[in-house]
Amino acid sequence: MSKKIYLVTGAAGFLGSTVCRQLIDRGENVRAFVLAGDKSARFLPKEVEIVYGDLCNKGDLERFFTIEEDDEAVVLHIASIVTVNPDYSQKVMDVNVGGTENIVEMCKSHKVSKLVYCSSTGAIPEEEKGTIRECEGSIPLDPERIKGCYSMSKAMATNVVLKAAADGLNACVVHPSGILGPEDFAMGETTKTLVDIINGEMPAGIDGSFNLCDVRDLADGVIGAADKGKSGECYILGNEPVSFKDFTKLVSEESGCKPLKFFLPISAANLLAKMLEKKAKKTGEKPLMTTFSVYNLARNNRFDSSKAAKELGYTTRPYRETIRDEIRWLKDTGKIA
């Protein structure tokens, strides 16, 4: 008897693992592609079939894509290297762009009914004013207008997928903004920031804004794109922007920690980030703050998700609910007192 199998890359990551859990909860068959040695893989549901491998290794991908002749494959390509270092990185390009080229090649050579590529709102050229919407056109993204190596790589990879769609592959793209919520076993940057605020280890904030989404809502959006997304289309999965001040106030109210009282102006934060980056290059240590992370707080963070809402059924929950649920999870797992 034939069956549909969801092939999920980056399945041990924050978003990927949540997508896997939601697919299992609705009774789907899931095969996960996980980098060897990723300790977060043990948190995937037992029903998930795990294939270990590297996006840059076509032999690994061949094993991942090989299914029974009568079965149908839907590919959710979520894996990427995320970095706040703005400098060019060949490894980031190899994985994020080259890995996506490999995924597209595999989709073309195997029986794949749909590809959903998880890009980023950072891949969309910033508009200084107003609300940012999806770009129109067959290959719309200009990497030269993008800041930071990570976002540039996501723009280039998005173009790879859109070109494949124009050539006949049934593929669409989602552009998530920032990510927040429970069950971040890999402890990503936003979760670390949340923990630092709660533990009183962040002496000051920055006078900027975020656009963050609950990971559960983003996972719904990714799965919605697999179910309903139109080939060659892009969908922004965003939220309302929230200032760093309001964000820390919500964290304080929900956790009982002391609120941050001092917020650096963007200009001062950027100057400090440049100094920290310069020092880090000399010492080889990771800077506490980068110019790219400051840029992401200073930029226009107002994104229009109405297309995803209309076509995919995408919705977002209030920041307070997400922060409350994440704090509860952090306490339940012993990551905060």
DSSP H helical ranges for 284-318: 291-298, 306-312
| pLDDT tens figures, 141-159 | 888 899 999 999 999 999 9
102 close to 60: Cβ distance less than 8 angstroms: no
Which domains can be identified in the chain, with CATH numbers?
A: 4-186+211-241+301-317 (3.40.50.720)
Whole-number Å distance between alpha carbons of 211 and 134? 16
Whole-number Å distance between alpha carbons of 37 and 158? 28
Q: Is the pLDDT at 127 greater than 80, yes or no?
A: yes
User: Which residues is 112 bridged to in the sheet?
Assistant: 73
Residue burial 42-63, b: 16+ Cβ < 10 Å; e: rest: eebeeebebbbbbbeeeebbee
195 close to 336: Cβ distance less than 8 angstroms: yes
Identify the pLDDT of residue 2.
86
φ and ψ at residue 112, rounded to 5 degrees = -115, 125
- Is the entire prediction scored with pTM above 0.75? yes
| pLDDT tens figures, 22-45 | 999 999 999 999 999 999 999 999
| pLDDT tens figures, 158-190 | 999 999 999 999 999 999 999 999 999 989 989
Using CB atoms within 10 Å of the CB of residue 166, give its burial: 0 to 12 exposed, 13 to 18 middle, 19+ buried.
Answer: middle
**DSSP secondary structure string, 278-290?**
HHHHHH-PPPSS-
Percent of the chain having pLDDT more than 90? Answer: 90
| pLDDT tens figures, 212-266 | 999 999 999 999 999 999 999 999 999 999 999 999 999 999 999 999 999 999 9
pLDDT category at 21 given cuts 50, 70, 90 is very high
Q: Give the Å distances, CA to CA, from 123 to 12, 149, 228.
A: 23, 10, 22
